[in-house]
Homo-oligomer: A and B are copies of this chain.
Amino acid sequence: MVTIRDIAKSAGVSVATVSRTLSDPEAVRPIKREKVLQTIAEMNYAPNAIARQLRRPRNETIIVIVPAIANPFFSGIVQSIENVAHDLGYRILIGETRGEQERLDYYADMVLTRMADGLILLGSLLPTVVRAKLEGGRAPHIPLVLACERFDGLDCPNVVIDNVVAGALAVQHLVARGCRRIATISGPLANTLSQDRLRGYCEALRAAGLAVAETGIEEGDFSIDSGYGAMQRLLNKAIVPDGVFCANDEMAIGAQQAIRERGLAMPADIALVGFDDLRFGAFAAPPLTTIRQPTSQIGETAVKMMDAVLHKRPLEQRKVVLLHELVERESTARACVQI
């Protein structure tokens, strides 16, 4: 392993000169600079970033915590985070929790041990140390930004969309299309996000003067399979819905399969609205009407917030609410029979 000292000796200069050649070339005379650069090239020297880091307060590394990497919605956000982070000079480390607290804590620990500067959380889990603080305990501080989910009582930079309004928008759209028996396949109700979308669903139904039937609500877990199962349960009930709001596109795609298997037509028999606007939804049969979240804006905002937190710059807003958008496609194209 060739070190800065080897270069210095070989080039006949001091280590300081080598260091300067690399970090502030203008400060060293051209003759020596050339000599040093040449030696560096000859000896294949690359400065040890670990050693360099030791003197710096920061690391330029941000960990992004995702419940599941394979979920295209999350990987989409990760992609945009990676993008912006790269431009701001940050490295991104991705951690997958799969709902396990232990894994999350492992990554949180990397911040405590200064392997990374901060945590961007996309999921609904909080590190144990953060939760301890929520409950009034004294605990070490972790720079944190929450994207996607909100946590009541936790004062920490947060970028979200208004899931209540978005859920309501989806249902209003179904109502406007003439649906009268509107069911929903919700996400796991442990997530605030799922709760919010469900609340939007309920509020919109009530506002439209439609009944909110207990039997019209099925809980899924955001996976295709759970959407498939939930839809089957809905189809087995006495009252079959003519419209379903799915809390994400994956579950909607699963639901579509169940509907097709029953020989029902979409949207003629059942209209569907999803959430997230996955690429796969646009190519489903029929293409899925959905609520689009501003994925890249979410990622961008989250990184910029983290950047501000790490530099102790004040944030204009601690909580940013971005705008969602209804994307109309064929799964709700034809109006149902108007009463």
Chain A residues near B (Cβ < 8 Å): 44, 46-54, 59, 68-70, 72, 75-76, 78-79, 82, 86, 91-94, 96, 103, 106, 109-110, 112-115, 138-140, 224, 228, 253-254, 256-257, 260, 279-280, 282-285, 287
Contacts and interface: CB of A to CB of B under 8 A. Distances in A.
A75 B70 contact: yes
B285 A260 contact: yes
Contact of A54 (B50, B79, B140, B282): B50
A49 B91 contact: no
Contacts of A287: 257
Contacts of A51: 54
Contacts of A115: 49-50, 91
Contact of A114 (B49, B69, B82, B280): B49
Contacts of A91: 93, 110, 115
Contacts of A284: 284-285
Given A48-B114, A69-B69, 14 more contacts: A44-B138, A48-B113, A49-B113, A50-B114, A50-B115, A72-B75, A86-B103, A91-B110, A92-B93, A224-B280, A224-B282, A256-B283, A257-B283, A257-B287
Contacts of A92: 93-94
A44 B94 contact: no
B279 A224 contact: yes
29 contacts: A44-B140, A46-B112, A46-B113, A48-B54, A49-B114, A50-B50, A50-B59, A50-B114, A69-B69, A70-B72, A70-B76, A72-B72, A72-B75, A78-B94, A86-B103, A91-B110, A92-B93, A92-B94, A93-B93, A93-B94, A94-B94, A224-B283, A228-B283, A253-B283, A256-B283, A257-B283, A257-B287, A280-B280, A284-B284
Contacts of A112: 46
Given A49-B113, A49-B114, A50-B53, A69 B59 contact: no
A59 B282 CA distance: 43
B47 A113 contact: yes
Contact of A46 (B53, B59, B140): B140
In the A-B complex, the 8 residue pairs with the closest CB atoms: A285-B285, A49-B113, A46-B112, A70-B75, A94-B94, A44-B140, A49-B115, A69-B75
Contacts of A50: 50, 53-54, 59, 114-115
Contacts of A260: 285
Contacts of A140: 44, 46
